[in-house]
Structure 1
Amino acid sequence: MRTGGHENPASQNPADRPSRARPTGSGRRVPLNTRQRAYLTVFYQLDQEEERRQRRRWHQRLHRDPAEQWRWIPYATDHPAADPTPAQQLLDRQGIKDPGTGSTLAALVRRRMIDLRHITVESTVGSTTQTQVRLTPQGRAEARGNQPQEADLDRLPGWLHQALHTIAEPENEPVPRTTIGRTSARRLGPRGLGYIEDASTWAYRLGESGRAYLERTDPTTDQR
């Protein structure tokens, strides 16, 4: 079954225990292929984004989820009516929509880059199975090493950075919700990064965290 244009790797009889990689015994490290690197980079991006969110909550003296919970990244929800997960959407933006997801995830497990599990979750379509991944320390180190040296790891992806700019442009004026997509709104909103706020039931406005981000990453932009 497919979700969001990707082959869903969830098994028919999922177990909550994660699949962990075991050494192959060859001892020889084979570089990741292009597709595997793309998946690992997306997982790393989402992992780091959530880590920053949890850190902000700590500074704000808000409740933080245990790392054992938030390190798990939703990959695919096993229902034809389910929305694609953020991981699927990021891969879609790179044009990675063809079959092969199951084998790619399995390869990353074998390479000890990720752990994999299938759990039952409650969603808008009821109880269903969701495939989740978690970076291993080795996988996180591999993904970090694949980042361009000059990259600012705190910087949003270009499309999300542009969405934030769209909200900021009117200078303290509310912006209609339809101006940016739902994915951008979820990632930037109060339940995500907290960079934008609800100005009303129909509009968003730039939040203080979003203003600080833009001033830090784009100091030439006047964000009064």
Structure 2
Amino acid sequence: MAQPLTPQALQQQRGFRGMSVKELAEATGVSPASVRRWEAGTQAVSDQAFGRLLKVLRCDAQDLTAGERGTETLQDLRRRAGMSTAEVASLLRRKRASQGLHVSAEKIRDLERGRPVRGRTWPSPETQGRVARMLAHVYGVPDRVVIDAWCRTRPNDPAPALPARRPRSASEGALATWRELNERQRSYLTCIFHQDQEAEEEQRQSRYAGEAQRPAAAWRRLTLALNAPADLVGFTRIQERLRDAGIHDPGTGSSVSALDRRGLIIVYRDRLYVDGLGDVPRTRVEMTRHGRAVARAALGVTSAPAPPAALLSPWLWKIVVRVAQAGPQGVDGSLAGRGPHYLAVGQSPDGRTPSRGFIVLRLPDEADYGPYRWFLTNSGRRHIKDHIDTYRSLYPTVNVDSIANMFT
């Protein structure tokens, strides 16, 4: 069942926005009498009206219901999008991936109620993965939100198998831009690109460790050169790469300007205080998306592999394994880092998207008071059971031997 609207919460949210019953009714497209009945708890809110309420009141579903992020079902996602089953079915039928599925409102209702869906191919995880991806597009949420809601709605079904995304091939336009560069410009772009990728990997490892993240505008701006004697300030990391490539000048001349004009990099010039020298002119560079695309195409570099859709990063997987290993004792409630924002019931990584709902902060079983601790939810246990073998191959350094027997 979908999480029902709480009458008092609706009254409160309307009050926060300074709206009268009449104003809310007009904005939502219903009569004032309907709003009064909603707030009195004598009339249920339709799926379409619920979605409109969220938009008009500019609030999240948990602000109007007793539900929490990370506990959504498929019906909850549809209601939040403000759609009827007939509307969803109509949108899915327009998609090429729905061919042969004969999507109908009845099938959407069966899907949401955990009942078998009629159709020769519907029971297969591959078909369900196609449907899940289409629903994610229709509802405007990430794939993993639909997968999590699907597993909560249909706990006895195999997990949907999302279709693999096609790898992107190098664009002819990017390769053409590379061919227009001279050898020196190519060397500059290559060295800057490698330094950019090194900085990106450092940020990735920092994120996996749960450390506070710096904005990309800060770490993607790389120091190219300081206008001061090298014996006093040394060489920057980009200059060291350039020297290895046989380029020994300061690195701030015509080649850099040419890359800037072509939109491959952005050049920033400012000053940096250096002890003993005072303010020293500094040149920094930042690769554009176009610049990275050109470098990747020319060097045959693919983007850093990410976990398959709906699976966790190494950092989040380690947290889930740690909580699983703790068993009925739970993990100390002061779990460090931003992990709970991505994993815990009631949390959100960005203030909008639901968490995975794999862990929950609560009292231990049979305890009436005392410190709260982290435990796996049913969704968390289901996720481990469905994917533990895949995680073994993805992240072999994360030891899961101690929990393997619990989820087989």
Scaled by the length of structure 2, the TM-score of the pair is 0.29
1:129 aligned partner, one-letter code:
P
The answer to which structure has the higher strand fraction is 1
Match of 1:54 among 203, 207, 213: 203
Q: Could you tell me which residue of structure 2 aligns to residue 133 of structure 1?
A: 285
- Superposed CA deviations along residues 106-140 of structure 1, whole A, max 9, x for unmatched, are 11011111100111223344432210000111111
Please say if 1:82 is aligned against 2:82. Answer: no
**Partners in 2 of 1:99 and 1:79 — Cα distance?**
10
Matches within 5 A, 1:206-217: none
1:86 aligned partner, one-letter code:
R
Q: Could you tell me which residue of structure 2 aligns to residue 113 of structure 1?
A: 264
- Superposed CA deviations along residues 44-88 of structure 1, whole A, max 9, x for unmatched, are 101111111111111111122110111101001011122110101
User: Does the C-alpha gap of structure 1 residues 98 and 52 become closer, same or farther in structure 2, counting only changes over 3 Å?
Assistant: closer
Q: Could you tell me which residue of structure 2 aligns to residue 43 of structure 1?
A: 192
- Superposed CA deviations along residues 148-176 of structure 1, whole A, max 9, x for unmatched, are 46x8979xxxxxxxxxxxxxxxxxxxxxx
**Is the 2:190–2:295 Cα contact (8 Å) retained in structure 1?**
yes
3-state DSSP class of the match of 2:202?
A: helix
- Superposed CA deviations along residues 159-201 of structure 1, whole A, max 9, x for unmatched, are xxxxxxxxxxxxxxxxxxxxxxxxxxxxxxxxxxxxxxxxxxx
Matches within 5 A, 1:213-224: none
Match of 1:64 among 195, 213, 225: 213
Deviates more, 1:71-80 or 1:97-106: 97-106
**Partners in 1 of 2:204 and 2:251 — Cα distance?**
35
Match of 1:103 among 246, 251, 254: 254
Aligned length: 128
**Partners in 2 of 1:68 and 1:101 — Cα distance?**
21
**Is the 2:224–2:251 Cα contact (8 Å) retained in structure 1?**
no
Matches within 5 A, 1:178-189: none
**Partners in 1 of 2:246 and 2:238 — Cα distance?**
13
CA RMSD of aligned residues (A): 2.8
**Is the 2:225–2:250 Cα contact (8 Å) retained in structure 1?**
no
Cα deviation for residue 101 of structure 1 reads 4.3
**Rg comparison, structure with higher value:** 2
Please say if 1:31 is aligned against 2:180. Answer: yes
Cα deviation for residue 100 of structure 1 reads 7.4
Matches within 5 A, 1:122-161: 122-124=273-275, 125-148=277-300
3-state DSSP class of the match of 2:253?
A: helix
Cα deviation for residue 97 of structure 1 reads 1.7
**Is the 2:191–2:241 Cα contact (8 Å) retained in structure 1?**
yes
3-state DSSP class of the match of 2:286?
A: strand
User: Does the C-alpha gap of structure 1 residues 98 and 78 become closer, same or farther in structure 2, counting only changes over 3 Å?
Assistant: closer
Q: Could you tell me which residue of structure 2 aligns to residue 199 of structure 1?
A: none
**Partners in 2 of 1:74 and 1:51 — Cα distance?**
15
**Partners in 1 of 2:251 and 2:205 — Cα distance?**
36
Scaled by the length of structure 1, the TM-score of the pair is 0.51
Q: Could you tell me which residue of structure 2 aligns to residue 222 of structure 1?
A: none
User: Does the C-alpha gap of structure 1 residues 72 and 32 become closer, same or farther in structure 2, counting only changes over 3 Å?
Assistant: same
2:220 aligned partner, one-letter code:
R
**Partners in 1 of 2:207 and 2:251 — Cα distance?**
39
Q: Could you tell me which residue of structure 1 aligns to residue 244 of structure 2?
A: 93
**Partners in 2 of 1:103 and 1:48 — Cα distance?**
24
